[in-house]
A = this chain, B = another copy of it.
Amino acid sequence: MKVLLVFAHPEPRSLNGALRDVAVEELESQGHEVRVSDLYADGWKSNIDRADFPWLTPDAQLVPIAASKKAFEANVLTEDVKAEIEKLSWADMLILQFPLWWFTMPAILKGWIDRVFAYGFAYGVGEHSDKRWGDRYGEGTLAGKRAMLIVTAGGWEEHYTARGINGPIDDLLFPINHGILYYPGYEVLPPFVVYRVDRFDEAGFQSAAERLRERMRTIETTSPTPYRQQNGGDYLIPSMQLRTELGDPGATGFALHLNGTDG
């Protein structure tokens, strides 16, 4: 497979840097082709602003969605954004790797999403009518490709379990896995998460590295998280409510949007 790994840590000599090297090495030894977008090393610009749309006249209002749409259609997105879109189109698989800062991704990676996931490319795709609400959540430009997260966390694994104080890790990552990756069409593999990384010793690293190698050996065969497709019949259109007969009757929240939870 062709794999794009987007890396978002400021220090190459970090645990994240070491894990990235482990992942890339294992992927390549399996015959995969790997490209890395190293956001800090590349000096990635995080913030959507007028510089992204230099063709806007000075007195024109900046409406980010409208400007993104126009720039994508006219092929006048900035060169850095175009280069990332080219890589996403090339890759069969996307890996986002980052340290969990305040329970989500660092600003620099959010800024990569905000700028690269353009209107017409990652959203605003397909027919929008009272019958069909666009190609998203399982359909869209990136359908047929796979994606996964590699995440490091300072806290204990117990703190991120079903009854842990931080909330379950799968719920904390749902806005990313479902809302950012599944939305434009990716099949999303379960995340690879390492905990308590501030206290890592050599044995801890070797154990995490081996777990990561195993995940990298199975990127083609690991089953994706079974999110429900928007246009597969489970949701009413246009209200986008899960049909009342679906989902565990007592359940609420993100888990409803998984297949196989019907009561």
Contact = CB atoms under 8 A, between A and B. Distances in A.
A36 interface: no
A54 interface: no
A215 interface: no
A179 B252 CA distance: 20
A47 interface: yes
Contacts of A50: 10
Please state the number of chain copies in the assembly. Answer: 2
A103 B180 contact: yes
A187 to B, nearest CB: 17
B103 A110 contact: no
Contact of A175 (B107, B154, B175): B175
Contacts of A117: 102
A111 interface: yes
A230 B103 CA distance: 17
A104 B106 contact: no
Given A107-B107, A108-B107, A175-B172, A247 B114 contact: no
Contacts of A171: 171, 174, 253-254
A167 interface: yes
A137 B114 contact: no
A107 B46 contact: yes
A252 B10 contact: no
A83 interface: no
25 contacts: A10-B47, A10-B50, A11-B62, A46-B107, A46-B108, A47-B111, A102-B113, A102-B117, A102-B175, A102-B180, A107-B110, A107-B113, A159-B240, A162-B253, A163-B242, A163-B256, A164-B239, A165-B241, A165-B257, A167-B179, A167-B257, A168-B252, A171-B174, A172-B175, A252-B253
